[in-house]
Amino acid sequence: MRSNRVCNITGIKYPLFQGGMVWVSDWNLASACSNAGILGTIGTGGMTLSEVETNISKMFDLTCNPFAVNIPLIRPNAEEIGHIAIEMGVKVIITAAGNPGAIIPKLKQSDVTIIHVVPSVRGALKAEHEGADIVVCEGYEAGGHNSPHEITTIALVPQVVDSVDIPVVAAGGIADGRGIAAVMALGAEGVQMGTRFIATKECNAHINYKKKLVDAQDTETCIIGRKLNMLRVLKNNFAQRILDAEIKGASKEELLKIIGSDVNRNVSGAIDGNVAEGTLQAGQSAGLVKDILSVEDLVDSIIYEYGKAVTGLPVF
């Protein structure tokens, strides 16, 4: 994988990002990724401000390579997290799930690279207009929060590439070197993966979650919460109850009652390992995840597969 604009802008060796993942991408995973030559990312979604600071400090202790801080813009204190990151010396911020106009121009007053995640051409144009340096375009296959536009990665990437001048990083449904080769052919200059990195030794996700991901087949994710926040998850008892209620036309209030307020389903599934009743965010690439590897071995195998995929392409 050759150095390109994404590598030049971020300072990483390979144009591969470990996507920020709420609850399961703390400094353990992010530092291993940065040390493997890709962009490690702290997912601040579920962190307190003091946890954000601790995670950033740990990153500076554990790696000399570039890393990013991911900030979901639905967080009320998103801007504060951005300023903390910048003050602590973070050079790359990845924003997602919200209006980039509200934050990018403010953060760009400092010398920081801003990457914004979008689900559509319109979102990419807006991010570019607001000053983003790179856009991650994330298709409907992706794990975690999803867009009601439901555009797949293979359809979205070339349309975004044709619409913006800044580099495009593809996300959603990619879990190995073949997937990277495919989206690079569509004009992407990098890839962001989330789901694949859950099944790594360094990821802080509960082992039950990792094992359920490794055991998952192609049909074992679903979208829940179309009336709330769309989320792609592994199917389990909890997800099935939500799906059943949604088919019957349950209201927002009825769905919230099923979710319940006494327990955080994300923490219960991802951290405590309750794989029946917790929320297990994962993408459609789950069926490609066959083993729990160290980040170093995973990145090595991805680079090898990418080379094999590219050289093996037929010439017409």
Ligand X SMILES: Cc1cc2nc3c(=O)[nH]c(=O)nc-3n(C[C@H](O)[C@H](O)[C@H](O)COP(=O)(O)O)c2cc1C
Residue type, 78: A
Closest approach, Cβ 101 to ligand X, in A, equals: 17
Provide the minimum distance between the beta carbon of 188 and ligand X in the complex, in angstroms, as a whole number: 13
Considering the rule CB under 6 A, would residue 123 count as an interface residue with ligand X? no
Q: For residues 104 and 68, is the Cβ–Cβ distance under 8 A?
A: no
Terminal Cα distance for the chain, rounded: 23
Q: Which is nearer to ligand X, 1 or 136 (CB)?
A: 136
> What residues numbered 24-83 form the site for ligand X, per CB under 6 A?
24, 43, 45, 70, 72
Residues 6+ apart with CB under 8 A from 135: 115, 116, 117, 118, 124, 127, 128, 160, 164, 166, 167, 168, 169
* Binding of residue 268 to ligand X (CB under 6 A): no
Buried/exposed code over 34-73 (b: 16+ C-beta within 10 A; e: otherwise): bbbbbbbbbbbbbbeeeebbebbebbeebbebbbbbbbbb
Residue 21 touching ligand X (CB under 6 A): yes
Strand ordering across the sheet containing 92-96: 16-18, 190-193, 168-171, 134-138, 113-118, 92-96, 67-72, 40-43
Q: Does 15 bind ligand X (CB under 6 A)?
A: no
For residues 155-174, which are near ligand X according to CB under 6 A?
171-174
Q: Which is nearer to ligand X, 69 or 161 (CB)?
A: 69
Binding segment for ligand X (CB under 6 A), chosen from 13-21, 104-112, 292-300, 307-315, is: 13-21
Query: Whose Cβ is closer to ligand X: residue 66's or residue 172's?
Result: 172
Single out the residue of 34, 65, 195, 236 in contact with ligand X (rule: CB under 6 A).
195
The residues binding ligand X (CB under 6 A) are: 19-22, 24, 43, 45, 70, 72, 96, 117, 138, 141-144, 171-174, 192-196, 281-283, 285
